[in-house]
Amino acid sequence: MSKTAELEKQDDPIHIFQSNSIGLPHLPTYFRELWRRRDFAYEMSRSTLRIQQANTVIGKFWLVLNPLLLAGVYYFLVMVISSGSHRGPEYFAHLVAGIFAFYFISNSMIGGAASITGAARLVMNASFPRLLLPIAAVRTAFGRFIPTVPIFMIFYVIGGSTLKWQQLLAIPVFGLMMVFSIGMAAFFAALQVYFRDTTAFLPYLNRILLYISPVLYYPDQARHYFKLIGVFNPLFPLLGAFSDTLVRGIVPSVGVWLACVAWAISAFLFGCWFFMSREREFAVRL
């Protein structure tokens, strides 16, 4: 390795392509190339956001209006089902925070799933670490999440709650959601190459995930069997901890933190492994 490194410095890079198409690429090189092109993921998602906005009449305003309408619809739904039992403004703040965070994850999965097949020409034309494309999709989902933060703040303050330092803990929780989302985006991006109806199934999967996660209800109010499922539902600790910290200023227990970290890291590792060990086959399958 050190010999190679010496040679590298003296001359042009050597690229060797051979037939070990199954299995992971050389990881240090892969991530060095990925890091070198990080601006590409950023610029790609910025352009995507611009296109998405250009296609709607009200443009940027839609980024704010869409999640707000969603929150309104779900609030109405919960009102009808529960005949008005959780009415407090704090509940609305919880609902808004949960839905916005949930849609960040769900948009990451859906955008990620389309990221390779939707960029088929690019993948056939240029050589770069393909993981950049699902990462760009997560960054796009993040770009749509950002404008919802002030909306949440408005509802939170209108509800008469005061700001607490514990709310800052929502930032690391969100960071873990991001790590989780990159793994999921990469996984579904690769799956979509093999099964083109993945994007058609995803909305159903997401709908179920939404109902079994503590978004429409508080984590400690979850029905007994939802809590049991929660052991297998990564969004249960992630969204639960997000709401606890951001809305109620509660510091989650060590167990919850551990669950969040474990889910985020395993989703990331699994998704990236699944993607990277197959990415060299993408070009012949598009």
Partner 1 sequence: MSSLSDFDSSSFGDPSETDPGLSAENILKVHKEVTEQLAISVQNLSITYKTQFERVPTVKKAVAGLVRGEKNKFKVVEAVNDVSFDVKHGTILGVIGHNGAGKSTLLRSIAGILAPTTGRIEVRGNISTLLALGLGFHPQLTGRENVILGGLASGLSREEINDKFLEIANFADLGDFIDLPTRTYSSGMNARLAFSVAVHMDPDILLIDEALSTGDAAFKRKARIKMEELMGNARTMLVVSHGLGTIKELCNDAIWLDHGRLVGRGSADEIVDRYTDFVDSGNSAVVLEDF
Residue ranges binding partner 1 (CB under 8 A)? 1, 3-8, 11-21, 25-26, 29-30, 33, 36-37, 39-40, 43-44, 47-48, 51, 54, 119, 121-128, 132, 194-198, 201, 280-281, 283-285
Are the C-beta atoms of residues 219 and 243 closer than 8 Å to each other?
yes
Separation of alpha carbons 91 and 217, rounded Å: 8
Closest contact distance (angstroms) between CB of 273 and partner 1 is: 16
Of the candidates 38, 44, 34, 193, which has an alpha carbon nearest to the alpha carbon of residue 129?
34
Looking at the Cβ atoms of 49 and 93, the one nearer to partner 1 is 49
Looking at the Cβ atoms of 86 and 280, the one nearer to partner 1 is 280
Closest contact distance (angstroms) between CB of 16 and partner 1 is: 4
DSSP 34-94: HHHTHHHHHHHHHHHHHHHHHTSTTTHHHHHHHHHHHHHHHHHHHHHHHTSS---HHHHHH
Looking at the Cβ atoms of 43 and 220, the one nearer to partner 1 is 43
Are the C-beta atoms of residues 70 and 145 closer than 8 Å to each other?
no
Closest contact distance (angstroms) between CB of 26 and partner 1 is: 5
Looking at the Cβ atoms of 207 and 285, the one nearer to partner 1 is 285
Closest contact distance (angstroms) between CB of 201 and partner 1 is: 7
Closest contact distance (angstroms) between CB of 178 and partner 1 is: 21
Looking at the Cβ atoms of 5 and 254, the one nearer to partner 1 is 5
- HSE of 76 in the Cβ direction (CA atoms, 13 Å)? 6
Among all chains, which residue has been given the structure tokens 């005949």?
83
